[in-house]
DNA sequence: ATTGCTGCAAACTCTTTGCAAGTTC
DNA sequence: GAACTTGCAAAGAGTTTGCAGCAAT
């Protein structure tokens, strides 16, 4: 993504635009793999070799606070991040530990209509996220 | 739950029946709150004050390996455990950090039928888990 | 000039591990 | 008695924090 666009994302949220933040933003937008912090650090260091680990952690946390990123957890331990361009569900491949986006407006419509009829007592639904868990047949190379 | 029943669950999985394991099993079955390890330790220590932290971790991990428990992750950090008596989805209350079971066979049917028609290329679905995220209106006391 | 951000290293939290002693089957 | 489990304490991984110096607005 262009630096101009990345800059826009940051300044719209009232964040100062620094090279580190641009690099981290760029990593998330480019990778699209729901990377963990370590992968982000590796990616960023290609162009920005001396960025501090703590800075990346802080930056990612800031982005989550501002709603730019979402955290994603698997049952394996580390925190992964998701730059959510549009609403989506997640496909989890158990064997290869990949998380993929699953965009399906028809499914969203189905779910929304279902819960419009069938309410959960005293509960306001903000979001419905389906976890689709299974395995890819012919394993993608990681 | 009766000790006899807890014993049965353990021995059916080929695990040796020890007081520690019974205590941990009992905690999970009784609490039903998707507790984290710390809560399990607190609960177990009421009757079993000197159980070691490492033992609880190991025990929970063993139970997960044997399929007795499932791990549950929120976007806050710690691992929580779920004794899954029957297939269910989860309701996440953002304000009070509660995870509740949501059992709904009609929903399961709807989802299964949907994905019977609309397949995901090259992917075998093992499980569909809906995360229902939102807030309880009149906050339950924790 | 002000406010906010970065780098660094130390500290912290949660979890895992190795092993001797003890239990269960 | 063989195989497994526990307790303990130490180590490990991932993450957070405090602060002095620096950069963005």
Please name the residue that has the structure tokens 């690099």: A23
Yes or no, beta carbons of B132 and A120 under 8 Å apart: yes
User: pLDDT tens digits for B16-73?
Assistant: 999 999 999 999 999 988 999 999 999 999 999 999 999 999 999 999 999 999 999 8
Q: What is the pTM of this model?
A: 0.86
Rounded Cα distance, A75 and B99, in Å: 16
Yes or no, beta carbons of A134 and B125 under 8 Å apart: yes
Helix, strand or coil, per DSSP, at residue A7: helix
What values do phi and psi take at A64, rounded to 5?
Answer: -65, -45
CA angle A85, A140, A68 (to 5 degrees): 15
Nearest-by-Cβ selection for B110 from A72, A91, A114? A114
Point out the residue nearest to D3 (C-alpha to C1').
B16
Point out the residue nearest to C3 (C-alpha to C1').
A16
pLDDT tens string, chain A, 142 residues long: the values are 788 999 999 999 999 999 999 999 999 999 988 999 999 999 999 999 999 999 999 999 999 999 999 999 877 678 899 998 889 999 999 888 889 999 999 999 999 999 999 999 999 999 999 999 999 987 654 4
Spatial CA neighbour of B88 closest among A113, A131, A108: A131
CA of B52: nucleotide with nearest C1': D7
CB B105, CB B119: distance < 8 Å: no
Spatial CA neighbour of A10 closest among A31, A26, A33: A26
Could you tell me if B75 lies within 8 Å of chain A, comparing CB atoms? yes
**What is the pLDDT of chain B when averaged over all its residues?**
92
Rounded Cα distance, B104 and A116, in Å: 15
Yes or no, beta carbons of B104 and A118 under 8 Å apart: yes
Helix, strand or coil, per DSSP, at residue A5: helix
CB B34, CB B72: distance < 8 Å: yes
Q: Which residue has the higher pLDDT, B141 or B38?
A: B38
Q: Residue B102: pLDDT above 90?
A: yes
Rounded Cα distance, A60 and A64, in Å: 6
B window 95-114, beta carbon within 8 A of A: 102, 104, 106-107, 110-111, 114
Rounded Cα distance, B8 and B24, in Å: 14
């Amino acid at each position: 993504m262009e630096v101009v666009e990345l800059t826009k994302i940051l300044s719209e949220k009232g964040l100062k635009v620094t090279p580190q933040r641009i690099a981290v933003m760029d990593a998330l937008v480019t990778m699209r793999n729901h990377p963990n912090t370590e992968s982000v650090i590796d990616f960023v260091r290609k162009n920005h070799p001396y960025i501090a680990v703590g800075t990346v952690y802080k930056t990612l946390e800031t982005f989550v606070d501002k709603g730019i990123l979402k955290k994603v957890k698997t049952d394996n331990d580390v925190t992964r991040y998701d730059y959510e361009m549009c609403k989506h569900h997640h496909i989890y491949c158990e064997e290869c530990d990949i998380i993929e986006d699953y965009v399906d407006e028809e499914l969203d419509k189905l779910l929304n209509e279902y819960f419009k009829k069938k309410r959960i007592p005293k509960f306001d639904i903000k979001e419905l996220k389906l976890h689709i868990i299974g395995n890819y047949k012919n394993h993608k190379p990681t």
